[in-house]
Amino acid sequence: MNLASGVGGKMEKSEVISAVDKYEKYHVHYGGKEEERKANYSDMVNKYYDLSTSFYEFGWGESFHFAARWKGESLRESIKRHEHFLALQLGLKQEDKVLDVGCGIGGPLREIARFSKASVIGLNNNEYQLTRGKELNRIAGVDKTCSFVKADFMKMPFPDSSFDAVYAIEATCHAPDAYGCYKEIFRVLKPGQHFAAYEWCMTDAYDPNNKEHQKLKAEIEIGNGLPDVRSTTKCLEALKEAGFEVIWDKDLALDSPLPWYLPLDTSHFSLSSFRLTTAGRFVTRNLVKALEFVKLAPEGSLRVQDFLEKAADGLTVAGKKEIFTPMFFFLAKKPGGGSGGYHSD
pLDDT recorded at residue 307: 78
CA-to-CA distance for 86 and 331, rounded, in angstroms? 9
* Side-chain half-sphere exposure of 298, counting CA atoms within 13 A: 22
Between the two ends of the chain, the Cα-to-Cα distance in Å is 41
Interval 75-113: pLDDT, tens: 899 999 999 999 999 999 999 999 999 999 999 999 999
* Side-chain half-sphere exposure of 78, counting CA atoms within 13 A: 26
Conformational region of residue 231, where left means phi above 0, alpha means psi within -120 to 50, and beta covers everything else: beta
Task: Tell me what the pLDDT averaged over the chain comes to.
Answer: 88
CA-to-CA distance for 165 and 80, rounded, in angstroms? 19
Say whether pLDDT at 228 is over 80. yes
Query: Residue 292 — pLDDT band, cuts 50, 70, 90?
Result: low
CA-to-CA distance for 83 and 182, rounded, in angstroms? 20
Domains of the chain: which residue ranges? 1-257+286-345
**Catalytic one among 83, 111, 170, 219?**
170
Q: Which of 150-159, 266-275, 286-295 has the lowest mean pLDDT?
A: 266-275
Written in H, E and C, the secondary structure of 240-283 is: HHHCCEEEEEEEHHHHCCECCCHHHCCCCCCCCCHHHCHHHHHH
pLDDT recorded at residue 265: 84
Interval 193-218: pLDDT, tens: 999 999 999 999 999 999 999 999 99
Query: Residue 281 — pLDDT band, cuts 50, 70, 90?
Result: low
Q: What CATH topology corresponds to 1-257+286-345?
A: Rossmann fold (3.40.50)
170 catalytic per annotation = yes
